[in-house]
Structure 1
């Protein structure tokens, strides 16, 4: 049994075959999926999906790339929706310095506001970080995000940074498809290094499809390939990875087995 802790089943890429995608995941032992909404349409779709499927839970927030489009009204809306019993986290939020749609200061302000929101609703926060690692960590520390904890989603930084976010910020580290890539040295090091009780798995589907499907549309069934790679890297059984990462997700999000 596995949990895909970060998937975008609310994306347009699944409009034609969502039921089949979900069925493949369930057939492969992925018994729960956490769907992440990050703007108005995807948050709305997330709320629909958590009502429709017992085994789908929602994480809602506003993406840093689109920070410039986020209004106070949208944040109030997200906070209201967070009262739903199947909304289990706030995000994905954070910083993305790769794209230039939203200025850095706008991203940083929104990031701080969403940390504050997560504290008010007492939910963990899911962090998107692209080319902004130190600023992300600095803001999380300044805003005392350790009070709620969360996930460094699709983690791509060093083992030393992983230690920092785990020990000082009470965070978990989540790995996805890139850990399976042949030349992904750093994610493989992280997979071996992170304490087993702080490790999570995800797909970020439809993005970041693992080997041998790299470059193709990803889907939650392929989180099994991530778990298999981690098992090999840590020299443990696939079943152990499934059991431990599931327990970790249940602990962080306060879910029953």
Structure 2
């Protein structure tokens, strides 16, 4: 393959933006060197259609949880429900869960309850927790620290764009930070500095497609192929050759998402 292989660790292939086009989207990703992608289910009632995408496309894995912005609208997940979903061999993570006080601060209480349920499911399954955090840095750092002290679990801070303090709190717990297209935006200098201060061994790359397309596609639909564009910026941030950054972030993904790595070696 002509391009170094990288992973889109977080996208949403079941969203209406991609309706009926998933085969082409996956093919374009692979052509760009994005040979694996994790599509995220944000409402558990949609899990069957997300699972079907992972079953239909060899490069696609999946995770499921209740997005914090939906926590007040959806039935509260149970630990047992999440653990049962994890029986599927291409189910590789718990979430996304987390806290979002930017748009949905009024549901902070149920978001926190939902987050703790997802954390317990991550503990019981050994699968990584996928965290969405926005405008909730103090509560997020507190809950993650409290819960980790009560029993360890693995975690990635998806689409990280929060404060240096939350980044450090996550890193201190052994967690990972995921770099999205936001890190490639020209005005994201401060965010790039936060990433540059982190160990490169704890960095993942993602698109969050269909959102947050990196330049030169900003403002248009994002897709997994564009993870390569964000990764090129990431390589610059860490002063690395692109090929070396691709190898490093893929190794990081394999370490955190061990089930996906095992699937690859088994196949």
TM normalised by structure 1 equals 0.94
Of residues 20, 25, 33 in structure 2, which corresponds to 1:29? 33
Consecutive unaligned residues in structure 1, runs of 5 or more: none
Q: Which residue of 1 aligns with 2:170?
A: 165
* Distance in 2 separating the partners of 1:74 and 1:159: 32
Q: Which residue of 2 aligns with 1:176?
A: 180
Of residues 94, 115, 120 in structure 2, which corresponds to 1:116? 120
The alpha carbon displacement at 1:173 in A equals 0.4
Superposition pairs of residues 32-181 of structure 1, within 5 angstroms: 32-72=36-76, 76-100=80-104, 103-144=107-148, 147-167=152-172, 169-181=173-185
* Distance in 2 separating the partners of 1:34 and 1:186: 27
Q: Which residue of 2 aligns with 1:218?
A: 222
The alpha carbon displacement at 1:78 in A equals 3.0
1:196 maps onto 2:200 in alignment: yes
* Distance in 2 separating the partners of 1:83 and 1:173: 26
The alpha carbon displacement at 1:135 in A equals 0.6
* Distance in 2 separating the partners of 1:227 and 1:110: 32
Say if 1:73 and 1:110 are closer, same or farther in 2 by CA, change over 3 A.
Answer: closer
TM normalised by structure 2 equals 0.90
* Distance in 1 separating the partners of 2:177 and 2:190: 13
Say if 1:10 and 1:74 are closer, same or farther in 2 by CA, change over 3 A.
Answer: farther
The alpha carbon displacement at 1:74 in A equals 6.1
Question: CA contact under 8 A between 1:38 and 1:61: conserved in structure 2?
Answer: yes
* Distance in 2 separating the partners of 1:79 and 1:187: 34
Deviates more, 1:75-84 or 1:128-137: 75-84
Q: How many residues align?
A: 256
Deviates more, 1:237-246 or 1:96-105: 96-105
Question: CA contact under 8 A between 2:69 and 2:100: conserved in structure 1?
Answer: yes
Question: CA contact under 8 A between 1:83 and 1:121: conserved in structure 2?
Answer: no
Deviates more, 1:215-224 or 1:190-199: 190-199
Deviates more, 1:151-160 or 1:213-222: 151-160
**Deviating runs (4+, > 4 A) in structure 1?**
72-75
* Distance in 2 separating the partners of 1:230 and 1:206: 20
Consecutive unaligned residues in structure 2, runs of 5 or more: none
Deviates more, 1:80-89 or 1:93-102: 93-102
* Distance in 1 separating the partners of 2:102 and 2:156: 20
Question: CA contact under 8 A between 2:9 and 2:206: conserved in structure 1?
Answer: yes
